[in-house]
């Protein structure tokens, strides 16, 4: 017999809930696979077994409970157990039944996450003119002579891990400034979270006159 479970990624609101229909006789490991498939391509860059699931019962109009949510180890759904063990009866309607926690990512994995595409409003303003980017190109490019020595000395097991970047997919472009805002929020601010505080991605003015383009600055060089 099948069951329909409303799932929600931890940190989201009920507006982002999604349903998964699956047999009660399947193990939780299959539920993880179904959730991963439902959330493709967003969940494409990690295996299903890295998802963690918790059983909850939260009314769909109670986003305040989600903001203050504390997940207990005793409520985590174990991969080897059947779904029917956790949901022997039909779950309550208009409730969130499963909280999904995404795996922590390495810096490389986090940087590999793809921002959502932007959509253009029917009221979008079009123009045949172009915007000139300003900035000074590097005076020279030098070889990194001891690159492989540095790689061999690097301790990958001591590197930080990150939650999956949270992109904003609500941008509807009307003019060029909307495009800049989308790039700033979904690229620059994400990069600042992942690579800071040493680097800052922004539209910081340069020595060249005109509207600054997006750029990256090494903080040490600004002091």
Domains (ranges, CATH) in the chain? 2-101 (3.10.20.90), 107-137+155-222 (no CATH)
Tens of pLDDT, residue by residue over 89-129, are 999 999 999 999 988 878 877 888 888 888 888 888 777 77
Mean pLDDT in runs of 10 for the chain (223 residues)? 93 90 96 95 87 93 82 89 94 94 82 84 76 60 75 69 84 87 92 84 77 77 55
> Is 117:168 a contact under the CB 8 Å cutoff?
no
> Is 131:211 a contact under the CB 8 Å cutoff?
yes
Kindly report the pTM of this predicted structure: 0.60
Positive/negative CA dihedral, 171, 175, 178, 184: positive
**What pLDDT does 98 receive?**
96
Say how many C-beta atoms besides its own lie within 10 A of residue 90's C-beta: 10
Beta bridge partners of 172: 119
Beta bridge partners of 19: 6
């Amino acid at each position: 017999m099948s069951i329909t479970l409303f799932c929600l990624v931890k940190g989201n609101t009920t507006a982002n809930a999604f349903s998964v229909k699956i047999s009660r006789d399947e193990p939780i490991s299959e539920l993880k696979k179904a959730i991963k498939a439902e959330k493709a391509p967003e969940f494409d860059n990690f295996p299903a077994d890295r998802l963690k699931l918790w059983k909850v019962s939260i009314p769909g109009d109670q986003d305040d409970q989600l903001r203050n949510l504390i997940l207990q180890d005793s409520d985590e759904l174990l991969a080897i157990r059947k779904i029917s063990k956790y949901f022997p009866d039909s779950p309550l309607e208009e409730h969130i039944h499963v909280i999904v926690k995404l795996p922590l990512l390495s810096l490389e994995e986090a940087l590999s996450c793809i921002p959502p595409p932007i959509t253009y409003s029917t009221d979008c303003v079009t123009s045949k003119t172009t915007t000139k980017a300003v900035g000074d190109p590097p005076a020279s490019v030098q070889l990194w002579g001891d690159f492989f020595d540095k790689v061999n000395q690097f301790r990958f097991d001591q590197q930080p891990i990150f939650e999956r970047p949270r992109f904003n997919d609500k941008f509807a472009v009307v003019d060029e400034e909307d495009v800049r805002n989308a790039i700033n929020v979904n690229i620059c601010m994400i990069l600042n979270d992942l690579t800071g505080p040493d680097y800052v991605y922004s539209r910081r003015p340069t020595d060249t006159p005109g509207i600054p383009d997006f750029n990256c600055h090494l903080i040490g060089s600004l002091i």
